[in-house]
A and B are shown apart, each in its own frame.
Chain A
Amino acid sequence: MDYIFHIAIIVSIYGILALAQNLVMGETGLLTIAGAAFYGIGAYVAGIFSTSLGLNITIALVAAPLITAVIAMILGTSFARFRDDYFLLATLGFLMIFNTVAKNWTSLTGGSLGIAGISKPHMFGITLLTPESFIWLAVFVLLIVAIICYFISRSSFGRALNAIREDEEALKIFGYKVSTYKLASFTIGASLSSLAGVLFASYLTFIDPTLFTVNESILLWAMIILGGIATNRGALMGALLLILIPESLRFIGFPDEISGLMRQCIYGLILIFLMLYRPKGIFGKYNL
């Protein structure tokens, strides 16, 4: 039973990440590969708060989105002028910087050894030690993020983001400060991603830089493309499928070391097949 709760927690964490990625990439059309960096920032905030400062993880759940928002706003202010592949390269650059800092600022991040002994969340007098108890927090945060994303996609703000995705130059003509919208979307997406990082760090109780590489960002791309670009339910479906499919390899006799490698191959193959045969994904109505 613990295994099922474990999978549900991982699906919830990736569901949050996929929803955030969908907001920035699906709704706004900003090709970002920095998702893993903001996820990592959230995780490191949780790790540092817990181990260095001795603070409760629930404080990190509030602090991480704020800290990440400040970083994203500083970045986004210069990134907002970029589009398409230029934006992609700029965010890739940021992810590389994040990884370098995480590996080398040893006194803060623990360097390549990472941070171990991160505490489990303690709330209402209960410490969420088991997957069975942790799942409630994970689902609660996922629900909050899903509500925020749904609210945004139904608002005038969300419609403007869609118009930016379609033709930001044309939208400017109608009185929109497009760069402000892009900055807002990027910042909100980054903040939401950091929540997943806090949950992840607190659940595993250990983090290191290898957990937040470009592979994670590609996985997020695969999730929202599989589920369907610019749909929240598509992002959730993509997260569910791309966690469950590789997990299912365990049950068809693949050794653990091979199933780990196969995971990346599966993500790659799914992306290739989707681009060839179903670029809109399962629920999608839009093309990238």
Chain B
Amino acid sequence: MKQVIETKGLIKFFDGIHAVDNLSLSIEEGKITGIVGPNGSGKTTLINILSGFYNYDKGEIFFSGAKRKKILPWENKIYGTGRTFQQIRLFNQMKVIDNILVVLTERNPFFALFERHGEYHIKCAEDVLKKVGLYEKRGSYAKDLSYGQQKLLEIGRILAIKADIIFLDEPFAGLFPEMIKRIENIIRELKNENKTVILVEHNMNIIRELCDHLIVMDAGKLLAEGRPEKVLSERAVLEAYLGE
């Protein structure tokens, strides 16, 4: 199986504290990989590094075998990566459909100046909104959506860019069961389309149900990895994370 992301000895400091500490891991293509760990274990920092939000201090990162010395956020489109955020980050004072259109249209400023979204863009955006169940809300402002709907819109933006590698940072946090089911289904569909999903999540039932592979982090280090049912039964994991 092809490895889409690989890190070797990855280190990230914050004021002398190791947020990510000598982390070596690999993520396989077309799989749902869960990342769990106590608060402050470095899960979100890892996603921030892999999506170009933070620079890393030491180590190596490979995307599909190619070494990336520096990951720049705007290169995500080139490498086919997309992400959601732990704290929702939408374009709040823009309409729902504009939140999708902005990720569909031209990136080059000069060409964007002369581009107006056409029928094609509208249809793509509406298809995405239908998929995440927000079609009826397309004319509303993003800030006026409920919390769960905002999470769906964030996922909608990822679907719109047709990312191959998708980082989802706690997409189920604070959602009611029906919304959880809807997002679970979207993630399963992504897997069926051979997309690679990296899921940071605290809900162990969801992890067991969805993930093919599980990575457990603690204090920035890799504590354990493997099949979810096996990893979640390891003594070290139980002690560090589940407190059992």
A167 with B91: CB separation less than 8 A: yes
B93 with A286: CB separation less than 8 A: yes
B109 with A285: CB separation less than 8 A: no
Q: Which residues of B contact A287 (CB under 8 A)?
A: 93
The minimal Cβ–Cβ distance linking B146 to chain A, given in whole angstroms, is 19
Kindly name the residue among B83, B109, B115 whose own CB sees the greatest number of chain A CB atoms within 10 A: B109
Q: Which residues of B contact A175 (CB under 8 A)?
A: 74-78, 107, 161
A177 to B, closest residue via Cβ = B74
| A46 CA to B243 CA, complexed, in Å | 74
Q: Which residues of A contact B85 (CB under 8 A)?
A: 170
| A180 CA to B116 CA, complexed, in Å | 19
Indicate whether A170 sits within 8 Å of B76 (C-beta atoms), given known contacts A156-B106, A157-B109, A163-B102.
no
Q: Which residues of B contact A167 (CB under 8 A)?
A: 89-92
A173 with B83: CB separation less than 8 A: yes
A174 with B103: CB separation less than 8 A: yes
- Flag whether B124 is at the interface (Cβ < 8 A): no
B116 with A155: CB separation less than 8 A: yes
Indicate whether A169 sits within 8 Å of B74 (C-beta atoms), given known contacts A157-B112, A174-B103, A175-B107.
no
B160 to A, closest residue via Cβ = A174
Q: Which residues of A contact B14 (CB under 8 A)?
A: none
| A160 CA to B108 CA, complexed, in Å | 10
B105-144, CB < 8 A from A: 105-107, 109, 112-117
With an 8 Å Cβ cutoff, the count of chain B residues facing the other chain is 34
A286 to B, closest residue via Cβ = B93
B116 with A156: CB separation less than 8 A: yes
A176 with B113: CB separation less than 8 A: no
- Flag whether B38 is at the interface (Cβ < 8 A): no
Indicate whether A184 sits within 8 Å of B109 (C-beta atoms), given known contacts A163-B102, A174-B102, A174-B157.
yes
With an 8 Å Cβ cutoff, the count of chain A residues facing the other chain is 28
B73 to A, closest residue via Cβ = A172
B91 with A163: CB separation less than 8 A: yes
B114 with A155: CB separation less than 8 A: yes
Contact of A160 among B52, B75, B83, B102 (CB under 8 A): B102
B74 with A176: CB separation less than 8 A: yes
A162 with B115: CB separation less than 8 A: no
A180 with B109: CB separation less than 8 A: yes
Kindly name the residue among B73, B83, B157 whose own CB sees the greatest number of chain A CB atoms within 10 A: B73
The minimal Cβ–Cβ distance linking A165 to chain B, given in whole angstroms, is 8
Q: Which residues of B contact A154 (CB under 8 A)?
A: 116
- Flag whether A250 is at the interface (Cβ < 8 A): no
- Flag whether B36 is at the interface (Cβ < 8 A): no
B92 with A174: CB separation less than 8 A: no
| A170 CA to B102 CA, complexed, in Å | 12
- Flag whether A181 is at the interface (Cβ < 8 A): yes
A166 with B91: CB separation less than 8 A: yes
Kindly name the residue among B51, B91, B117 whose own CB sees the greatest number of chain A CB atoms within 10 A: B91
B161 with A174: CB separation less than 8 A: yes
A162 with B98: CB separation less than 8 A: yes
B91 with A162: CB separation less than 8 A: yes
Q: Which residues of A contact B93 (CB under 8 A)?
A: 162, 165-166, 285-287
B72-88, CB < 8 A from A: 73-78, 82-83, 85
Kindly name the residue among A155, A171, A286 whose own CB sees the greatest number of chain B CB atoms within 10 A: A155
The minimal Cβ–Cβ distance linking A224 to chain B, given in whole angstroms, is 15
Extra pairs beyond A171-B91, A173-B53 (14, CB < 8 Å)? A155-B116, A156-B106, A156-B113, A157-B109, A159-B117, A162-B93, A163-B91, A165-B93, A166-B93, A167-B92, A169-B73, A170-B91, A176-B74, A177-B109
The 8 A-B pairs at the shortest CB distance, nearest first, are namely A175-B77, A172-B73, A156-B105, A166-B91, A157-B112, A170-B89, A156-B112, A157-B113
Binding site for B on A (CB under 8 A): 152, 154-157, 159-160, 162-163, 165-167, 169-178, 180-181, 184, 285-287
A–B pairs, 8, beta carbons within 8 Å = A154-B116, A156-B105, A156-B113, A170-B90, A171-B91, A173-B51, A173-B53, A174-B157
